[in-house]
Structure 1
């Protein structure tokens, strides 16, 4: 382990001190821009906070911003976001009426071997996801969605606990943990970027749409 690694291990991984004591999503978005709750802020361009309908009935949680999200400052604006929008439409959900965010608010990446400017996505570890969790809990508390969709393993573990497994738990209507911060139900599925990486892209996409339909059907049943 290098001296830099030792220094990072001694740091506090916790975004809680950076959260505002009051205010809505706009206040939290402003505060998140200055978050130093874990080392990921050091290399990312900016904090990418959630975006969407502040009274959305459905809230979608991904893993972390990608390259385009980091550059533009908004979640799900890259290729995975475009695919997600199409899948939501097929499932009967209008993405423009949802709230979308990520479990981790800064882009974690590596560089190609031998150097180069390309930034290669690297999954956040559990400590980084746990550090950022207070921002996600605040978003859930302020939006108060009826259904939360976890897109991928990182989002699923952050919302539903470390025992969560995408292959085992996807496509079912699951109760949220009873900590008072979440909506009543969650649906888990793969992250849309997994579709883009899949050998059988058509089959992976069909599975994503099928899982999202579970969320759409749950919303339809709860219509007043």
Structure 2
């Protein structure tokens, strides 16, 4: 189980995206509408890694196009980051969900599914070669920094990314802000973390 055999060696982002559409590295492809690969410029200074595509992303085939994506766009603007020059992707490329009536509710991917999908994320980071990676939420942060990493304790800090010669900053996922009881305070916390990222790039 794993995506490694589906990832073409030395391929650019376009060929990686095409190849990912046929990935069968885990069971999630069976129920998802399509693979949701990353999007953005190949020379982006920042790569944003989310957790897993949501309902709208699954339907449209693009990352961060739903409510959480729109909130992220606004937070980028408020933090002084240029969203148009950022590459965005997810740790897992297929939507995982449970059905409740006519609604499809996001479900957190398992550790096995995250590990299975990691070759795609590694390939994206290799091709883009960003100066900084921003991990949104616990799934993305643990995929990049290990199972013991806690976003609540280490958010907003620029850290080395283990074996990779890249830096990473972890923060909350925008979807958690949409669920927050104090949405404005949670949003300002995200903006503050992203402002640290913006400062690190200056």
Q: Does 1:57 align with 2:45?
A: yes
Partners of 2:20 and 2:166 lie apart in 1 by 26
CA deviations on 1:59-100 (whole Å, 9 max, x unpaired) are: 000001000000000000000000000000000011110000
Q: 2:137 aligns with which of 127, 131, 152?
A: 152
Residues 152-205 of structure 1: CA deviation (Å, up to 9, x unaligned): 000000011111111011011111112x4xx52111000000000000101100
Aligned residue number for residue 3 of structure 1: none
Answer with 1 or 2: which has the greater Rg: 1
Q: Which residue of 1 aligns with 2:177?
A: 195
Pair 1:91-2:92 in alignment: no
> Counterparts of 1:23 and 1:135 in 2: how far apart (Å)?
11
In 1: Cα distance, 2:10 partner to 2:49 partner: 23
User: Residue 131 of structure 1 aligns with which residue?
Assistant: 116
| Correspondences of 1:37-76 after superposition (within 5 Å) | 37-76=25-64
For residue 96 of structure 2, what is the aligned residue in structure 1?
108
1:22 match: 10
After TM superposition, the score normalised by the length of structure 1 is 0.89
* Match for residue 198 of structure 2 among 193, 205, 216: 216
Instruction: Give the 3-state SS of the residue equivalent to 2:134 in structure 1.
Output: strand
Alignment correspondent of 1:31: 19
2:189 corresponding residue in structure 1: 207
Instruction: Work out the CA distance in 1 between the residues paired with 2:38 and 2:133.
Output: 14
Structure 1 residue runs without a partner (length 5+): 1-11
Question: TM-score when scaled to structure 2?
Answer: 0.98
Q: Which residues of structure 2 form unaligned runs of 5+?
A: none
SS, match of residue 49 in structure 1? coil
Across the aligned residues of Structure 1 and Structure 2, the Cα RMSD in angstroms comes to 0.8
